[in-house]
Chain A
Amino acid sequence: MNARMDTTDACDLRFGQVGIACVRVRRVDAAALAEELERRVRAAPQLFSRAAVVLDLSHLLDLPDDGTVDALLEAVRSAGMLPVGLAYGTSETEALSRRMGLPLIAKFRAAYEPASGGSIAPPAPAEPAPAPAPRSEPILFDAAPGNSLGAQYHDGTVRSGQQIYARDRDLVITGAVANGAEVIADGSIHIYGGLRGRAMAGAQGDTKARIYVSDFRAELVAIAGHYRVFEQIPKDLEGQSVQCWLEGEKLLIAKL
Chain B
Amino acid sequence: MTAEIIVVTSGKGGVGKTTTSASLATGLAIAGKKVAVIDFDVGLRNLDLIMGCERRVVYDFVNVVHGEATLKQALIKDKRYETLYVLAASQTRDKDALTQEGVEKVLDGLSEEGFDYVVCDSPAGIEKGAHLAMYFADHAVVVVNPEVSSVRDSDRILGLLASKTRRAERGDSAIKQHLLLTRYNPARVAVGEMLSVKDVEDILGINVVGVIPESENVLAASNSGVPVILDENSFAGQAYSDTVARILGEERALRFLDVQKKGFFQRVFGG
Taken together as a complex, chains A and B put the C-alpha atoms of A179 and B202 apart, in Å, by: 13
A243 to B262, CA, bound (A): 48
Q: Output the least CB separation between B125 and chain A (Å).
A: 13
Contacts of A162 in B (CB 8 A): 159, 163
A180 touches which of B152, B160, B204 (Cβ 8 Å): B152
Identify whether the interface residues of B are mostly helix, strand, loop, or mixed: helix
> A178 at the A/B interface (Cβ < 8 Å)?
yes
> Is A161 among interface residues, defined by CB-CB distance under 8 A?
yes
The verdict on A40 contacting chain B, using a C-beta distance below 8 Å, is no
Alpha-carbon gap, A160 to B202, bound state (A): 14
Can you list, as one digit per residue, whether each of A175-219 has a CB less than 8 Å from chain B (1) or not (0)? 110111100000000000110100000000000000000000000
User: In the assembled complex, which residues on chain A have CB atoms less than 8 Å from the CB atom of B159?
Assistant: 158-162, 181
- B window 66-87: CB within 8 A of A: none
**Which residues of the partner chain B approach A161 to less than 8 Å between Cβ atoms?**
155-156, 159-160
Is A157 a contact partner of B205 (Cβ separation < 8 A)?
A: yes
Q: With a CB–CB cut-off of 8 A, which chain B residues contact A158? A: 159
A179 with B205: CB separation less than 8 A: no
Flag whether B162 is at the interface (Cβ < 8 A). yes
User: Shortest beta-carbon distance, A182 to chain B, in Å?
Assistant: 12
Q: Which of B138-189 contact A (CB under 8 A)?
A: 152-153, 155-156, 158-160, 162-163
User: Would you call B31 an interface residue if the criterion is a C-beta within 8 Å of the partner chain's C-beta atoms?
Assistant: no
Q: In chain B, what residue has the closest Cβ to A161?
A: B156
Interface string of B226-256 (1 = CB under 8 A from A): 0000000000000000000000000000000
| 10 additional A-B residue pairs with CB within 8 Å, beyond A160-B152, A160-B155, A178-B155 | A157-B205, A160-B156, A160-B159, A161-B156, A161-B159, A162-B159, A175-B205, A176-B205, A181-B155, A194-B202
B residues at A contact (CB < 8 Å): 152-153, 155-156, 158-160, 162-163, 202-205
A: which residues have CB within 8 A of B? 156-162, 175-176, 178-181, 193-194, 196
